[in-house]
Amino acid sequence: MMKATRRLLAAAATLLLLASCATNIAGRSQLMLVSEQSAIAQSKQAYVQTMSKLGSEGKLVSDPALVKRVNTITGRLIAQAVQYRPETAQWEWSVRVIDEPKTVNAWCMAGGRMAIYTGLINKVDPTDDELAQVMAHEISHALLNHTAERMSMAIAAQLGVVATAVATQSQMKTAGAEMLAQLGLMLPNSRQSEAEADRVGIEIAAKAGYDPRAAATLWQKMAKAGGNGPPQFLSTHPSPANRQATLAALAPQMMPYYEKSGPRPSYTLSPTTGEVQGPRPALK
């Protein structure tokens, strides 16, 4: 009976994995047990709840100068993101600045909802070109469908935990099995996803009119702000030194986009809600 159960689990898992793959804009095949639309819907719910809580706590920044700076940079980046994936013009793009001075972070959910923390702005002290690299990188995670991929990998990891427990008749703790699944499956792809977002992000920023050479200087500052950091093997991000070298090598390829003459299209974001306002730039 146990052998039959193991065979059934193995067959079901194989069919599920074979039937659930997609290719992102970087040309890489991704495990997709969760659709992008489902990831967008779940992200929206989480975003609304998070912003509501932060608003009630007084942690959403309203300083006009800072909000204008972030909105202006992000608006130009969104316009280029839509050039990359025209269907994302229908996304509910938005960005908020969160007042958490100790948090050096920024993110973009599936569907284009973003946030950046005052800790990154204050501790890293990025120029506009460097800040554009941060936001372009996060936007690229959404364009590359990394949210749905991470959700899918989490599901696959859970399936692996169940299958391992049945196949070995082990009494191992779930937490231990989950750690093995994370190290064996999730982290390598996470590093690959970060590299993809770096590559797409530096191009989006350059096309939006931001100096691609700032990607390397950003990570010089990130390295100083982050101290020694965790070992690269156990990190979901490449180390600052490796990242800096890779981005510096990419910069010359991106300079023609940056140096191109003419106006840069931009989306207008609300100074109070961070949401896109008014007509959106026409695609070229």
CA distance 85 to 34: 20
pLDDT tens-digit profile of 95-121?
Answer: 999 999 999 889 999 999 999 999 999
pLDDT tens-digit profile of 224-261?
Answer: 886 555 444 444 556 667 788 899 999 999 999 999 99
Handedness of CA 95, 100, 103, 109 (dihedral sign): negative
Q: Looking at 36, 138, 196, 203, which residue is catalytic? A: 138
Q: What is the pLDDT of residue 166?
A: 45
Active site residue 138: yes
Six token digits for residue 129: 């070109």
Residues written for the chain: 284
What residue spans define the domains of the chain?
Answer: 35-148+179-277
Q: What is the DSSP letter of 275?
A: B
Is the CB of residue 276 less than 8 Å from the CB of residue 113? no
CA distance 281 to 267: 7
Alpha helices in 169-281 (DSSP H): 174-181, 187-207, 214-226, 240-259
pTM: 0.80
